[in-house]
Amino acid sequence: MSRQLSQGLRFVPWLLLALVLLLVFPLGMLRGQDAMTLAPGSAVVGTIGADQSAVTYSFNGNAGDVVTLRAVAITPGADPNLTLAGPNQQPLAFNDNESYLPQATASALTFRLQQTGAHTAIVRGTPGDFVLTLAILPAADSTGLEADTPANIALPAADPAQVFEFNTDPFQATTLLLNVSPTAADVRIEVRNATGEVVAMLQNNVQNVCLNLGPGDEVHTVTVTSLPESTGTVTLTVSNAPCELGAVRADVPPVATTPFDPVPIEGVCAASGPNNINIRTEPTTQSGVVALLPSGQPIQVVGQNDGGSWYAVQGEFVQGWIAASVVFTTGPCDGLPILSTNATPTATPAPESTAETTPEMTREPTPEMTAEPTVEATEEATEEATP
């Protein structure tokens, strides 16, 4: 398929965008300083004072909901940033400027909530007025995809939107093969990672597409949406084997490994990675998930299993196990104690430091790990991608 990535980004003056938001959300528009409750589908106007103090808003969400927050400056020179905090006030996500418009002063983040309860949106940055919007995609019932077992969706589907999920393998690559027959079937396929960010979006004239995900331990969801008049079949296949799409062109360059610098925690062994990572109850992918370690966020390592393939970790709000193959470590990580599989990780206090030191960095993951999925396709299909 000849891939056509539509990335038509158009610059819109932020003042005009703010006026559009005022028209779109007239009923939900509130002054941020007068009402600190943020409702889904509404917008609020807030002000970052000269002292750059934080402006906070509260909203309720359920585990599995995908939340999108966006703050747009409406005062010249203002530059807001966003932090999302959970029910225990633990930071979940942060964004300063939108990744696809780095020169702009708008801030946006998307995150799949891990807990049910009151969450907090915190706006900081350069003084000035801003508009804050909230959108929530409710959690939907999903069907698990088993490895090497194709899931067939007959069109027209009884439910116009069907959700499937699968977990990547921490020790080897995971592939997702998408087949649509006929290619003229009007379907939309959206793949999101554990935090709810869209990693692939396909629509119109798609025959087959392969997503190749590097080693990892996080849940991905696949949402297939079709029109009532659509006819045909959509097939989803998850595997650890390469997708069979026919001969690969010789001029396709290899996928480069994205470099990652581990994030230190002063005085202790710390682990972090370029992708989201499940924190599990036991050192096995068959055990339950107690929390999600977001990409780029460090956590203290307090031990390892007998083979060294899993790390016992301890955070302020969570403890459990993460796969060693999907993280990078830094700090005093030599001689980690070996813990039994049902042991409770225990954090050791950081030693007092009398001089500035540079943490020693070690690289644990396999060389094949990539931060972004790669897409292979046949020449009959067309892919549309969104940032």
- Give me the CATH number covering residue 166: 2.60.120.380
pLDDT of residue 8 exceeding 70: no
Helix (H, G, I), strand (E, B) or coil at 246: coil
Computed over every residue of the chain, the mean pLDDT equals 79
Confidence class for position 152, pLDDT limits 50, 70, 90: very high
- Provide the pLDDT for residue 327: 94
Lowest mean pLDDT among 133-137, 257-261, 315-319: 257-261
Asked whether residue 259 is assigned to any structural domain, the reply reads no
pTM of the model: 0.70
Instruction: Let me know whether 122 and 147 are in one domain.
Output: no
Please tell me what DSSP assigns to residue 147: B
Q: Is residue 243 part of a domain?
A: yes
- Any idea which residue has 């087959």 for tokens? 208
Model confidence at 382, pLDDT cuts 50, 70, 90, reads very low
| Weakest-pLDDT range from 129-143, 262-276, 342-356 | 342-356
Q: Which of 79, 111, 137 is at the close of a domain?
A: 137
Residue whose entry in the numeric block shows the structure tokens 């020169």 = 103
Q: Do 25 and 125 belong together in one domain?
A: yes
* Residue 175 resides in a domain: yes
CA of residue 22 relative to chain centroid, distance: 29
Please check whether residues 21 and 127 belong to one and the same domain.
yes
Q: Is 102 domain-assigned?
A: yes
d(Cα 163, Cα 257) in Å, to the nearest integer? 30
Q: Could you tell me what percent of the chain has a pLDDT over 70?
A: 74
Tokens of 279: 């924190």
Range scoring the smallest mean pLDDT among 24-28, 127-131, 332-336:
24-28
> Same domain, yes or no, for 274 and 335?
yes
Instruction: Assign 50 a pLDDT band (cuts: 50, 70, 90).
Output: confident
pLDDT of the residue at 245: 63
Which helix (H) or strand (E) covers residue 84, if one does?
Answer: strand 79-85
Could you give the number of structural domains in the chain?
A: 3
Is residue 171 predicted with pLDDT exceeding 60? yes
For residue 36, how many C-alpha atoms fall within 13 Å in the half-sphere facing its CB? 12
Residues 242 and 163 sit within 8 Å (Cβ to Cβ): no
Percent of the chain having pLDDT more than 90?
48
pLDDT at residue 153 above 60?
A: yes
Tokens 């299993």 label which residue?
305
Among 227, 193, 262, 208, CA closest to 382: 208
Distance CA 239, CA 235 (A): 13
Q: Which helix (H) or strand (E) holds 134?
A: strand 128-137
Sheet holding 142-144, edge to edge: 142-144, 161-167, 219-226, 187-192, 198-203
Q: What is the average pLDDT across 357-372?
A: 43
Mean pLDDT of the region 219-234: 90
Q: 118 with 50, same domain?
A: yes
Predicted confidence at residue 59, as pLDDT, reads 95
Among candidates 293, 338, 297, which has minimal Cα distance to 320? 293
SS3 14: helix
Residue 217 domain flag: yes
Instruction: Let me know whether 86 and 178 are in one domain.
Output: no
CA atoms of 331 and 313, how far apart (whole Å): 14
Query: Is 163 found in the same domain as 68?
Result: no
Domain of residue 245, residue span: 142-253+371-377
- Of 22-26, 209-213, 239-243, 311-315, the range with the lowest mean pLDDT is 22-26
178-201 in b/e burial notation, b at 16+ Cβ within 10 A?
Answer: bbbeebebbbbbbbbbbbbbeebb
d(CA 385, CA 373): 13
Residues 315 and 242 in one domain: no
d(CA 386, CA 6): 7
Average pLDDT for residues 181-197, to the nearest whole number?
89
In this structure, is residue 99 part of a structural domain? yes
* pLDDT score for 343: 56
Q: Averaged over 73-95, what is the pLDDT?
A: 90
62 in the same domain as 152: no
Q: Identify the domain boundary among 92, 108, 137.
A: 137
Residues 156, 124 share a domain: no
- Give the rounded distance of the alpha carbon of 342 from its chain centre: 29
Q: Which of 65-79, 88-102, 331-345 has the lowest mean pLDDT?
A: 88-102
Flag whether pLDDT at 260 surpasses 70.
Answer: yes
**How many other β-carbons are positioned within 10 Å of the β-carbon of residue 87?**
16
Residues in the chain: 387
Instruction: Please identify, among 120, 137, 154, the residue that sits at the C-terminal boundary of a domain.
Output: 137
**Euclidean distance between the first and the last CA atom of the chain, given in angstroms as a whole number:** 21
The mean per-residue pLDDT over the stretch 145-160 comes to 88
